[in-house]
Amino acid sequence: MFKERIRENYDGLTPGFRKLADFIMDSTLDVAFLTATELSKRVGVDPATVVRFAQELGYSGFRELSREIKRYVRDRVTASYRKVQEAGSTEEILRGLVENARQNIEYFVTTDLASVVDAVEALRQANTIWCTGEFSGYDVASFLAKKLGTQGFSAVAFEPSMASTSAVLARMQEGDVLLTFAGSDPSIDAGYAVRLAREKGVRAITLTGSGVALPARIADISIIVPHKSPAGVASFGPLLEVAGLMYEALMTPATEKMQRQAHEMSTQMAKILSLRAETAEYEVAGPQNIWQDTIG
């Protein structure tokens, strides 16, 4: 399939070919309705470059590549896009978006589920799971690390800044796993973290909406989730859904362990509630008095 071919060949592409690859991956619906000449104008290259690009990927020419893209779009998104664009009410818009989401996840299951299986197995065997991502990707990473932590996994989230990444890399060891959420953002710094982690023998998994994002191109396991939406914005729903599926899959074989963990948490919560009931009023009011005195 054209997306896999682009991802596999991306590192060896010329700058002009990369511009075409980026546009095709990020604007697949638009490309399905463009001729080679129209595509060249949109990207800013000459028509001959479009033909050579298709041949570089192993197609006889752009016509063969275009036919594959058209089939992809027709089978996956055209119907739901039309429903949203022609919708006359909020309910109709939502129904169209739901249909698009359903098609996205069904297509994902048929094309990338094997990658999720490999990722879950790697996470299950990890000594420590390091989670990262840029911008909103970090929020997803932080949330998942907290959820895994409550279930007894050793999971740590970090922002891929120079200082944070360096500190984390110093602690990483073989047997750990780095899980990166790239979404549809460039994620360059996250990509550096992936590269350096792999140099230390740490397995790297990337969940992303763009197969050409740096973390996706260099990870051991790249899970490409669909992110195009009839709403005209990148959808983050599929990425969250796949992350949730991975979490549930990790929990399923360890039901008894999870039940013990939940019981222990309930026990500790009961102790905290008891302590709250026994806490003297001056213990609660003390910090407030200090704060009032300070600003008074």
For the chain, which residues make up each domain, given as ranges?
Answer: 2-76, 109-254, 255-285
Task: Report, at the CATH architecture level, how domain 109-254 is classified.
Answer: 3-Layer(aba) Sandwich (3.40)
Mean pLDDT calculated for residue range 71-94: 78
Mean pLDDT calculated for residue range 242-257: 86
User: Which among 190, 259, 222 is positioned nearest to 122, based on CA atoms?
Assistant: 222
Structure tokens at 102: 């359903």
What phi, psi does 292 have (nearest 5°)?
-65, -40
The span from the CA of 46 to the CA of 39, in Å, is 9
pLDDT (0 to 100) of residue 261: 74
C-alpha 119: how far from its chain's center? 13
pLDDT (0 to 100) of residue 110: 66
- What pLDDT, in 10s, does the model give residues 165-220? 999 999 999 999 999 999 877 799 999 999 999 999 999 999 998 888 999 999 99
98 touches 231 (CB < 8 A): no
What phi, psi does 102 have (nearest 5°)?
-65, -45
pLDDT (0 to 100) of residue 76: 64
CATH T-level topology, domain 2-76 = Arc Repressor Mutant, subunit A (1.10.10)
CB atoms within 10 A of CB 214: 22
pLDDT (0 to 100) of residue 287: 65
